[in-house]
Amino acid sequence: MKQLPRRELNRLARKQQLLDAALVVFAREGYSGASMDAVAAEAGTSKPTLYKHYPSKEALFTAMMRARRDDMLLSIEPGDPDAMVAQLHGFAWRYARTVMRPDLLALARLIIGEAQRFPHIGVAYQQSGPDQVLDGVMTYLSHLRDEGRLQFEDAELAAQDLWGLVLSAPRTRALYDPQWVPSQAELARYIHNGLRVFLAGYAASPERDLEELEAVIAAGTP
């Protein structure tokens, strides 16, 4: 793989620094309370520098959420359909580690609290976060259906079932009980059972894929 020029690496590192600072501020202040001044201060940079990369708070928020999306979708690039089970397992764990982060849970709580008074904030969160991940999962699952590995008629429902089965219960509890932090074993219980139910319901060859899943689980958490 060709090494990026140092100038480009520095630019990417700077943007990541700004996005990390944005997450700190949005998770602490919520969308309405966050300001570009606060993000610049958190990042240790000037407001003109921040605006050079992101021309508005909305643009910064969208970029921040899409960076989380990209993290979650890394393990499910359409490609080798024979890697389906391992990729679904990898996605489930990457998804869990992302959405169960304390800062992202804090952000979600604040967005929920603001959405009643400021509906556009809830819409911005939904469109730049969950909807983006959903689109990526739908594309991946549709590819697997085209390759004969999965069976379904509605890609959106299949994608919603996948992430709902693997993490809906623990994330809902964590949203409303900030003191509860699930252990690795507790997350594994939900994730592995969710994947078993998903494959039993959607796999074209469920017995084979469930057997492969048990082998993947036995190999350890990714």
pLDDT at 32 over 90: no
Q: What is the pLDDT of residues 113-132, one digit of tens each?
A: 888 888 888 888 888 888 88
Share of the chain above pLDDT 70, in %: 92
Higher pLDDT, 195 or 72: 195
pTM given for the model: 0.82
Stretch 164-172: mean pLDDT, rounded?
94
8 Å CB contact between 42 and 28: no
Stretch 187-210: mean pLDDT, rounded?
97
Per-residue pLDDT at 187: 95
pLDDT at 1 over 50: no
Amino acid identity at 49: T
8 Å CB contact between 65 and 132: yes
Share of the chain above pLDDT 90, in %: 57
Query: Buried b vs exposed e over 133-154: b needs ≥16 C-beta within 10 Å?
Result: bbebbbebbbbbbeeebbebee
d(CA 78, CA 89): 15
Q: What is the pLDDT of residues 69-96, one digit of tens each?
A: 777 666 667 667 889 999 999 999 998 9
Task: Categorize the per-residue pLDDT at 168 as very low, low, confident or very high, splitting at 50, 70 and 90.
Answer: very high
Task: Categorize the per-residue pLDDT at 112 as very low, low, confident or very high, splitting at 50, 70 and 90.
Answer: confident
Task: Fill in the DSSP letter of residue 74.
Answer: T
Stretch 199-222: mean pLDDT, rounded?
95
Higher pLDDT, 213 or 6: 213
Per-residue pLDDT at 2: 56
pLDDT at 16 over 90: no
Stretch 193-210: mean pLDDT, rounded?
97
pLDDT at 100 over 80: yes
Three-class SS of residue 102?
A: helix
Stretch 5-24: mean pLDDT, rounded?
80
d(CA 45, CA 54): 13
d(CA 126, CA 118): 13
Three-class SS of residue 44?
A: coil
At 183, give phi and psi (nearest 5°): -75, 170
Going along the chain from its start, the domains and CATH numbers come out as 64-219 (1.10.357.10)
